[in-house]
Amino acid sequence: MSIVAGCDVGSLTAKAVIMEKGRIISSALLRSKTNPQLSAEAVMQEALSKAGLSMDDIRYCIGTGYGRKNISFVDKDISEIACHGRGARWLNPGARTIIDIGGQDCKAVRLDKDGNVVKFVANDKCASGTGRFLEVMARLLDIPIEEMGSLSSKSTAPITLSSTCTVWAQADIVKYINSGHKIEDIGAGVNSAMAKRAAILANSVGIEQDVCMTGGVAKNEGVVQDLEKLLGKNIKKMRKADPQIAGAIGAAIFAMESLNGRS
């Protein structure tokens, strides 16, 4: 048996994927705990128990994500950029431009036709355009973050946020709420502000099709549709697996390659 695993410990969530013969046999996603090691152990344990396996069954494990240097059970760690690129290619072999929006960062990666990283940019300095922006606004609107995306299609008169900064935008949103604007119109404005920031990053690496989105925000259809409009390109849906676990998938694929290379 050549069972491998990838573990992606992000700022807000931890993800684990277990693969065998190029197929996902189990995956898990949890809210991050107080330290990366605890998050990694918990998410890995959940993925293992879903598959009815124990840690001893994993022949090779690769860690990624911001907490990757602090996971004791991995054989190796690889950058998020490489793992998201590889994961996106597995989800869609035609992927060339990948926009990954995580809980506290936003990245754009352009790959060549063989899947090698040609160019990438990342923002982890400013909360605007990251999942955090969305989270802060969802809390203000008092709706679950999973429901933010659907607001865009319900909106008839979306607001326009004039501030990019999360702090200033927060104050703007409070004003909109107090002046009686509809939740869906405000939510649609938030989604479109997210898309604007992501488009800047995507354009700076250059757009080549297929364009794909990974990370938790890829599940927000409002952001995805606004981004399609801004880029003038379709964003390919990735139905093979949850786009939020793309990094962990990439890590598992690298683990598989490491194992094959070694044997």
Partner 1 sequence: MIVAGCDIGSLSAKAVIMEGNTVIGKGVVRAGTNPVDSAKEAMAIALGDSGLSMEKIKKIVATGYGKEMIPFANAVESEIVCHARGAFWNLQTARTVIDIGGQDAKAIRMDKNGNVVRYLYNDKCASGTGRFLEVMADALDVSLDEMGKISSQSKEKLVISNQCVIFAETEVVSLVNEGRAVPDIIKALHTAMAGRVASMVLSIGTEDDIIMTGGVAKNSGLFAALSTSLKKPVHSMKNLDPQITGALGAALIASRMSEQ
Query: Whole-number minimum distance, CB 61 to partner 1, in Å?
Result: 27
Token pair recorded at residue 121? 């940019």
Nearer to partner 1, 92 or 128 (CB): 128
- Smallest gap from Cβ 231 to partner 1, in A, equals 24
Strand partners, 6: 17, 62
CB of 218 vs partner 1, minimal distance in Å: 21
Residue 87 near residue 214, CB atoms below 8 Å: yes
CA distance 169 to 197: 13
Residues within the interface to partner 1 (CB under 8 A): 34, 104, 125-127, 132-133, 136, 163-168
Which residue number, 19 or 138, has a Cβ lying nearer to partner 1?
A: 138
In whole angstroms, the minimum distance from the beta carbon of 182 to partner 1 comes to 23
Residue 165 or 183: the one with the smaller Cβ distance to partner 1 is 165
- Computed over its alpha carbons, how large is the radius of gyration of the chain? 19
Provide, rounded to whole angstroms, the least separation between the CB of residue 200 and partner 1. 14
Outline where DSSP puts E strands in the chain. Answer: 3-9, 13-20, 23-31, 58-64, 76-77, 97-101, 106-111, 117-123, 211-214, 235-236
Q: Closest CB to partner 1 among 60 and 133?
A: 133
Distance CA 92, CA 212 (A): 8
Residue 81 or 134 having the CB closest to partner 1: 134
Laid out side by side, the sheet with 23-31 consists of 23-31, 13-20, 3-9, 58-64, 76-77
Residue matched to tokens 């050549």 = 2
* In the complex, least distance from residue 128 CB atom to partner 1, rounded to whole angstroms: 8
- Are 99 and 198 in contact by the 8 Å Cβ rule? The answer is yes
Q: Closest Cα partner for 16 from 40, 34, 50, 49?
A: 40
DSSP annotation of 223 reads H
Q: Which is nearer to partner 1, 47 or 190 (CB)?
A: 190
We find the least distance from the C-beta atom of residue 167 to partner 1, in angstroms, to be 4
First to last CA, the chain: 12
The nearer residue to partner 1, 55 or 167, going by C-beta atoms, is 167
